[in-house]
Amino acid sequence: MKSYAPFLVAAALLSPHFAHAGPADYVYTPTVDYGEKEIDFKTGTARKGDDPRESAASIGFGYGATEWWFTEFYLKYKRENNESTKYDAIEWENKFQLTETGKYPVDVGFLLEVERPQNHAEGWEVKWGPLFQTEFGKIQINANALFERSYRTENPSQTSFLYQWQAKYRWLPQFEFGLQGFGELGKWDQWAERDERMHTLGPAVFGKLSVGNHQAIKYNAAWLLGASKAAPDHTFRMQVEYEF
């Protein structure tokens, strides 16, 4: 693991609500492609019972600034309570690759993400945590443990624990398939009651389509079902990236 890993972890923990994953959230991966630029679009929609549908979307521009650092800026939008779609937040995502790809049984990365909501009373939201990836033949598995907290808010905030995972079978570069899952457990050091935890999981598809001249369109999408009482009954999420 590279020597700067402890510094990144310490910085994130010192950077100052209960976490709520949006329907457009996606599974982070630990690898970085140096010099790659991308335009990234994400969207998702979720509903629980007879409650109003919640939808979210974002568009961002990212760049592989070094062999170990990928940075991306997003504009985020949301629609909830049967209101019209509105601007929600600006986000700065940073991903650090801490191990050389394939050198160890598990590839390791680190995420540091800062979000400034449109409603400044919500303060600054910071998300951080380790990212893991391993492979068994044509099967790729990802698992992430994430922490989230809001700072400079009108109301007190606590650090929450979230997790993500996915498993996919790399059948063809243009089409892969597998499963994805997301969860929120409450405070990182004192999990919520079982009925208050949120777990979703379901089938997912992935792929990368070359469009020539070192350009490609990469996609992934999932249909997630609620696996706990507090989770939405169903969530559809999708991500499309134009890489160049």
What are the φ/ψ torsions at residue 225 (nearest 5 degrees)? -110, 145
The confidence score (pLDDT) of residue 212 equals 87
Asked if 155 and 17 count as a contact pair (C-beta separation under 8 A), the reply is: yes
pTM score, whole prediction? 0.89
CB atoms within 10 A of CB 204: 22
**Ordered mean pLDDT values, 10 residues apiece, the chain (244 residues):** 42 39 93 97 96 96 98 97 94 98 97 96 96 97 98 90 98 98 95 94 98 94 97 97 98
- Its domain, for residue 116, covers 5-243
The confidence score (pLDDT) of residue 20 equals 56
The confidence score (pLDDT) of residue 154 equals 85
Using CA atoms, how far apart are residues 230 and 241, in angstroms rounded to an integer? 31
The confidence score (pLDDT) of residue 32 equals 97
**Pick from 51, 32, 68, 4: which is nearest to 230 by CA?**
51
Asked if 174 and 207 count as a contact pair (C-beta separation under 8 A), the reply is: yes
Supply the CATH number for residue 47's domain. 2.40.160.40
Structural domains counted in the chain: 1
